[in-house]
Amino acid sequence: MEFTGKIIAVLPPRGGISKSGNEWKVQEYVIEDHGQYPRKMCFDVFGAEKIEQFHIQEGEELTVSFDVDAREYQGRWYNSIRAWKVDRVAAQTAQPQPTSAAQPAAPAPAPAPAPAVPDFSNSNATDDLPF
């Protein structure tokens, strides 16, 4: 699964030693999409090498690929949203590229025409609507 949005929070990393004596580290992040009603998702990155590899910073626009899993502990169930891939979203406002003298700049595309607005001023007062 994927989620695209802006990182709005970078939570402190946690770590410890597993029962088998191995050191572990996990860091959580909160991402928010840009919908009309923005959704937020808290996900984690497990492993010091993955945390360094992804190098996620607050304010970045990312597409996060993740897996969802659940586990039971003492009769309660807990969800885990673990990122396995992170892609930076390309900047929407690209820097203009300098053009050489041999290549003329392409003209800007014409804006799309505005859709026509229907005229309801001569509407029939006897609608056959059921409500």
Confidence at residue 45, expressed as pLDDT on a 0 to 100 scale:
97
Tens of pLDDT, residue by residue over 44-72, are 999 999 999 999 999 999 999 999 999 99
Ranges in the chain, pLDDT < 70: 91-131
Confidence at residue 90, expressed as pLDDT on a 0 to 100 scale:
80
Domain layout of the chain by residue ranges: 2-88
> For residue 43, which of 73, 74, 75, 5 has the smallest C-alpha distance?
5
Report the chain's mean pLDDT, rounded to a whole number.
82
Entry pTM: 0.66
2-88, which class in CATH?
mainly beta
Token pair listed for 39: 């959704």
Residue ranges of E strands in 1-131: 2-10, 14-17, 23-32, 40-46, 61-73, 76-88
Cα separation, 100 vs 75, whole angstroms: 68
Confidence at residue 5, expressed as pLDDT on a 0 to 100 scale:
97
Confidence at residue 81, expressed as pLDDT on a 0 to 100 scale:
97
